[in-house]
Amino acid sequence: MAPSTPVVTKPSPTQEGVNWKPVLLGITVFLVAIFSLAPILWQLLTSIKTNADISRIPNVYFPREFTLEHYIQLFDRRPFLRYVLNSAFVAIVSTLLCLGLGSPAAYALARLRLKGEQLILGLVLIVTLFPYILLFLGLLEIVQILGLGNNYLALIIPYTAINLPLTILVMRSFFQQLPRDLEDAAKVDGYNTVQMLWQIVLPTTIPALVTTGILAFIFAWNEFIFALTFMTRETMKTIPVAAAQIGGATLFEIPYGPIAAATVLGTLPLVLLVLFFQRKIVQGLTAGAVKG
C-alpha cells in the first residue's frame, strides 16, 4: 500500500483509470441471476400468454395480451386443487413424522454414547446417496402386499424414510452444539430422558427443527418416482406427476399453456419457501452434507 495515501484504501477511477472489478462483478452477478431465473420466468410468461401468442413464430417475448385461461382450464378440466392438496398433505404429514422420529434418533446418536453409533451414522450417511430407483421395486411389493396403492400412506411412509437420514445428520449436528450443562441441569431437576427431550432440548432447537422441516418438505413435495408408481387414481396424484401427465393425456395438440401454468403453481410454494428461508436452507444443506 502506498504510504503517501494512507486514507485511500481502494484505487479510485480518477487516479488509475476505470476500476474494472465492480463492473465485472456486476455483470457476473447479473448473468448468474439470469441463468437461474430465465427458465422459470419463461414458463411464467408462457402461462399467461394467449394460445395464439404461444404458437407464434418468431416467439413473442413481450405479449400485448395476458390471459388466465390456462389456469382456469387447469382447475376446470382437472382436479388441480386436489393435486395441490395431495402434495401439501403428504409433504406436511411426512415432514412432521420425520421430525418426530428423526429428532429422538439424532439425540440418541449425539449424546447417549451408544455402542455402534459410528456404524449407524456411516450407514445413515451412505443411505442418503441411494437413488430412489433402487428402492421402488421392493417398495412396490410392500405396497401391493399391504394394499396401500392409492393410499396416502404409500407416499407418507417412504417420504418420511427418505428424509430421515438428512434429519438425523442435521439435527445431530445441532444437538452437539447445545451446551451440555443444560441437559445436566435438567437431569438433576428430575427430568427423564424423554421429558428432557420434549420439554428442554427440542424447545431450544426450534430453529434447527424449522431448517430441517423446510428441507424435508422440499424433498417430499418434489418427489416423483414413488408418486408416479404408487398413485394411479387421478384424485390421489401429486402435482409433479399430474403436471408431467398433462401432455400425455391428449394425442393431438400438446397443451403448452396449461403445462406452463401447472409448472408455475407447482413451483410457487417452493419459490416462496426459498425467498423466506434462504439462509436456513443453505445452513441445513451444508450441515447435512458437510458436517455429517
* Footprint on residues 219-258 left by another protein (CB under 8 A): 221-222, 224-225, 228-229, 239-241, 243-244, 247, 256
Cell numbers for 96 = 412432521
Are the C-beta atoms of residues 146 and 157 closer than 8 Å to each other?
no
User: Which of 2, 3, 4, 181 forms a contact with another protein (CB under 8 A)?
Assistant: 181
Of the candidate residues 2, 7, 18, 194, the single one contacting another protein (CB under 8 A): 194
Q: Which is nearer to another protein, 210 or 281 (CB)?
A: 281
Measured from the Cβ of residue 240, the count of other Cβ atoms closer than 10 Å reads 21
Task: Closer to another protein by CB, 5 or 278: give it.
Answer: 278
Answer yes or no whether residue 144 interacts with another protein by CB under 8 A. no
Which residue, 182 or 249, is less far from another protein as judged by CB? 182
Candidate residues 2, 129, 145, 251; the one interacting with another protein per rule CB under 8 A: 129
Pick the binder of another protein from 18, 137, 145, 251 (CB under 8 A). 137
Torsion on CA atoms 275, 268, 96, 228, rounded to nearest 10: -140
What one-letter code names the amino acid at 274? Answer: V
- DSSP 8-state code for residue 3: T
Site string for another protein, 38-67 (x = CB under 8 A): -xx-xx--x-------xxxxxx--------
Q: How far is CA 176 from CA 102, 109, 125, 183, 188, in A?
A: 15, 10, 17, 12, 20
* Interaction between residue 164 and another protein (CB under 8 A): yes
Binding of another protein by 162 (CB under 8 A) = yes
Could you tell me the three cell numbers for 85?
392438496
- The whole-angstrom separation of Cα 287 and Cα 289 is 6
